[in-house]
Chains A and B, each alone.
Chain A
């Protein structure tokens, strides 16, 4: 074992922020988290819209939603990344590596989150919706103010699971040459040549810590009292 070769200050710096302080080119964990957070936000938005569409009773809303969900759930993410990166240039649109990976992961995650949102909406007692309707709220208002705030808590564990998967999925970025955590790890491994175990165990460690952190953070929000105390000051 040659940990002292791998765990040098220079290597840790590259793993965490890439060449940010040398050439200004960010990389490593920083890029992984950037892609991950952007994709999580965009994916949640896409998923929320699609999930509401999927739960609608109007045919022109749920048929497109189900087509989208089934298509994007049943294709490997890597194929989506390739679609987003290699195909647009042929039609004259250049997407950066960062944008295409983010786009692919958002669309992919959105399809999964849509199903979670649908499950959350189904967990609402119909009486609540009927009561809100009887009080004169419109359909959109009911969704926004009655259904989603309540569904949020029943969806949280499943959402946390999806967010962890999204962070894991950012590792595909290295296949189109983006300098994310995996790529930097691979580069360090290729330079040393003798310490693959140590370098990949280091990568595992970093991903593990980040993902357990996300799970822990969402577990903090799972109790409604704690959520209200944190964000609503009730």
Chain B
């Protein structure tokens, strides 16, 4: 077994960087849609709209109790049966594997984001919301200007955890053939026999990505708590817990 890490400067390295770009694109799109879905479902659950309650409960429980990789396979293999025709065509033009992976990851992580948002909103006294409604602010206005800004302090650390989880779960997209970083490892291992070197590099890249994400989240929550308390009580640390 002879390891030669200098091969990473050649073709394998180029493939890994390509994979990294795909991983980042996948993470960014999924995070965006997961946040939108999560914001919607979290708010709806917090508002306690009676007839939507079972739907939200089912969605969250379904996502929490089934494996993400099966969800990815489900959306990939049955998209043409389930989705409206125009959406399927749109996805296919966009790169069908990529679209299915984004869809599955957004739906999976949307449920977790919804729980995070709900936890954040629950940390605010309901009186704040009622007072803002009584003062004549609309639903969206009172959420946007009164409740959510206060909830961010709770939401940001938890959301950071979700973001790192999402970045890690993008590696599952290789199951349906999205050419991201983990897929490139298989590629390099199969065709260039430089598996160990590539796997080491990819592991380090994932580590850096996830630690950087939680670092940014820790800085952000430190910043937020500083303003809320009037003075810095805690130095930023590299864990979001």
Residues of B within 8 A of A172 (CB): 69, 172
Q: Mark B226-241, 1 if CB is under 8 A from A, else 0.
A: 0000000000001101
Query: How many inter-chain contacts with C-beta < 8 Å in the A-B complex?
Result: 111
**Stretch from A55-63, A195-203, A221-229 forming part of the interface with B:** A195-203
- Which residue of chain A lies nearest to B195 when distances are taken between CB atoms in the complex? A86
Residues of B within 8 A of A115 (CB): 241
- B203 adjacent to chain A (CB < 8 Å): yes
* Beta-carbon contact of A197 and B81 below 8 Å: yes
Residues of A within 8 A of B172 (CB): 76, 78, 172
- Which residue of chain A lies nearest to B175 when distances are taken between CB atoms in the complex? A175
Task: State in angstroms the CA–CA spacing of A115 and B77 once bound together.
Answer: 37
- Which residue of chain A lies nearest to B164 when distances are taken between CB atoms in the complex? A74
A75: which of B65, B70, B203 is its contact (CB, 8 Å)?
B203
Residues of B within 8 A of A186 (CB): 73
Query: A75-B168, A196-B81, A207-B65 are known contacts. Are A86 and B203 too (CB-CB below 8 A)?
Result: no
Query: A70-B238, A78-B172, A90-B196 are known contacts. Are A196 and B74 too (CB-CB below 8 A)?
Result: yes
Number of residues on chain B facing chain A (CB within 8 A) = 40
* Beta-carbon contact of A200 and B77 below 8 Å: yes
Task: State in angstroms the CA–CA spacing of A144 and B238 once bound together.
Answer: 30
Size category of the binding interface on chain A: 35 or more
* Beta-carbon contact of A91 and B1 below 8 Å: yes
* Beta-carbon contact of B78 and A200 below 8 Å: yes
* Beta-carbon contact of A79 and B69 below 8 Å: no
- Counting chain A CB atoms within 10 Å of each CB, which of B62, B69, B70, B206 scores highest? B70
- A sample of 6 cross-chain residue pairs with beta-carbon separation below 8 angstroms, ordered by A number, consists of A74-B206, A75-B168, A172-B69, A182-B70, A196-B77, A211-B64
